Amino acid sequence: MRTVRISDRVHYIGVNDRTTTKFEGMWPLPLGVSYNSYIVEGSEKTAIIDGVEASRAMQHIDAIKQILGDRRPDYLVINHMEPDHSGAVRMLRQAFPGIVIVGNAMTLAFNRGYYGIDSQTLQVKDGDTLPLGGDTTLRFHLTPMVHWPETMVTYLEEEQTLFSGDAFGCFGALNGAVVDTDMNTARYFPEMVRYYTNIVGKYGQFVQKALKKLEGLAIGTICSTHGPVWRSQIKEVIDIYDRLSRYEPLDNGATIVYGSMYGNTEIMAETAAQALAEGGVKEISVINASHTDISYIIAEIFRHRGLIIAAPTYSDTLFPPVAAVMEAIALRGLQNREVAVVGGHTWSQQAIKAMQQYIDACRLTPVADPVSFKHAPAADSLAQCAGMAAEMARILKVSANNG
C-alpha cells in the first residue's frame, strides 16, 4: 500500500475494510468502511493519531514503517476507544515498544480494561497541548458522548487540521484517493447520513455541545476516522452533522414505513403515498419494514420531515418489524417531525396504541387522527388515509415555502 501525504507534516495511514458485512454487528456496509489513521511529524517527535481495527494491524504497522523508516513513532493519540480504532493497539505496542499512549483519564481506563495496558501512557486534560517539536503542536479538546463518553478531538494548531474521531465520519471505503478534492464525493453523503443516524443519532445534544465548543477553531482540514479527509467540502459536512444533531430534517419529503403480511396495510401505504404526491411532495420514500434493512430506514426517517407509519396488529401487539423501527427512532429521540399512524386489526386493535406510545415518547404531535382499518381497507378508511396524507402534504409544503 502506498501511503498518502496530506500535508508537509501529516500522512494518511488508514486502511479499507471491504470484508466486514455489518459494522458493529448491525449496520450493512455495501460500500465498505475505512478506519482512518494519521501520522503527524514534528521536528522532534512523531505521533500516530487514531489506530485501526485488529484484523488490519499488519497493514497499519507496515504503513508506519514505510513512512518512518528506521525511526520509531513516539506517541499514539487515541481520540476514541471503540475497537474499530483501538483494536490493533497491542500489536502496535509489540511492533514499537517505546510508543507512549496518549488519552484522557477515561481513555486510559478503557485501554487498561480492554487491552491490559497500564504503562507508558500520557494522560491529557481538556485544552492540554503536546508539542512535537518546531512548529508542530497538538491540542486536545474533550467532546464526550460523540458517541462514547471518552471521545475527544485533536487539533494540529499550525495547520488548522482537526482530527475529529468519528465526528464528521461516514461509511464507504476509500477508492484510491483520500482527500475530497481528489475524488467525486457524491457516494459518501448518503453514507454520512446513515453513519450519523445509525451510530451517533441518539447523542444529538452532545454533538451540538461539541460543535459549539469547536466553533472558535479555524478548520482547514478535517481528518475523521471514517471516510474522506475533508478540505473543500467542510461547510457541507459540518452542516449535515449540525442539522442532524439538531434533529432537523434535511428535506421536506416524507417517509412511509409500513409492515404488511397479506397486503392490506400495504394498500393503505400506497394510498398515502399517492395522496402525498398529489399534494405536491416530491421526495417520498415508501419502505416495507420487512424488506429493507433498518439501517436505511433510520436514515430515511432522519432525512425527511414527514413520517407515516402503517402496521397491522400481530399477536396482540404491533407488527414486530415496524415495532423495531419505532424502537430505533424512540431510542434516538427523534424530534421535529410531522407524523401520522395507520393501524390494521381483525379482532383486537393494538397496533395504533403501540405506535402512539412510541410517538408520545418522542413528544411528536401527529398531523391527524390515527387511521384505523379492520379486516381490509374499506372506502371510508382509504378516504381517511388519503385525507391524512393530503394534510401532511399541505404542512410539508408550508415548511418548504418557509425554508
Q: Is 270 helix (H, G, I), strand (E, B) or coil?
A: helix
d(CA 142, CA 71): 30
- DSSP assignment of 315-365 equals TTEE-HHHHHHHHHHHHTT--S-EEEEEEEESS---HHHHHHHHHHHTT--
Shortest approach of Fe ion to residue 213 CB, angstroms? 19
Cell of 197: 443516524
Amino acid at 56: R
d(CA 317, CA 172): 37
Rg over alpha carbons for the chain, rounded to the nearest Å, is 24
In terms of DSSP H, where are the helices of 69-183? Answer: 83-86, 89-95, 105-115
**Residue 345 binds ligand FMN (CB under 6 A):** yes
**Residue 84 binds Fe ion (CB under 5 A):** yes
**Residue 335 binds ligand FMN (CB under 6 A):** no
User: Which C-beta is closer to ligand FMN: that of 290 or that of 365?
Assistant: 290
**Residue 347 binds ligand FMN (CB under 6 A):** yes
* # of chain residues touching ligand FMN (CB under 6 A): 17
DSSP label of 37: -
Nearest CA to 296 among 305, 304, 287?
Answer: 287
**Residue environment code for 87-115, b if the CB has 16+ CB neighbours within 10 A, otherwise e:** bbbebbbebbeebbbbbbebbbebbeeeb
> What character string, x for contact with Fe ion (CB under 5 A) and - otherwise, covers 164-193?
--x---------------------------
Shortest approach of ligand FMN to residue 348 CB, angstroms? 4
Are residues 391 and 367 in contact, defined by beta-carbon separation less than 8 angstroms?
A: yes
**Residue 378 binds ligand FMN (CB under 6 A):** no
d(CA 360, CA 358): 5
Shortest approach of ligand FMN to residue 377 CB, angstroms? 8
**Residue 260 binds ligand FMN (CB under 6 A):** yes
Shortest approach of Fe ion to residue 274 CB, angstroms? 41
Mark the segment that binds ligand FMN (CB under 6 A) among 90-98, 148-156, 254-262, 270-278.
254-262
DSSP label of 370: P
Shortest approach of ligand FMN to residue 342 CB, angstroms? 10
User: Which C-beta is closer to ligand FMN: that of 154 or that of 260?
Assistant: 260
Of 218, 262, 401, 402, the one binding ligand FMN (CB under 6 A) is 262
In the list Fe ion, ligand FMN, none, the entry touching 166 (Cβ below 5 to 8 angstroms by class) is Fe ion
Are residues 104 and 125 in contact, defined by beta-carbon separation less than 8 angstroms?
A: yes
**Residue 261 binds ligand FMN (CB under 6 A):** yes
**Residue 370 binds ligand FMN (CB under 6 A):** no
**Residue 290 binds ligand FMN (CB under 6 A):** no
Of 30, 113, 134, 263, the one binding ligand FMN (CB under 6 A) is 263
User: Which C-beta is closer to Fe ion: that of 5 or that of 115?
Assistant: 115
Footprint of Fe ion on this chain (CB under 5 A)? 82, 84, 166, 225
Footprint of ligand FMN on this chain (CB under 6 A)? 260-266, 312-316, 344-348
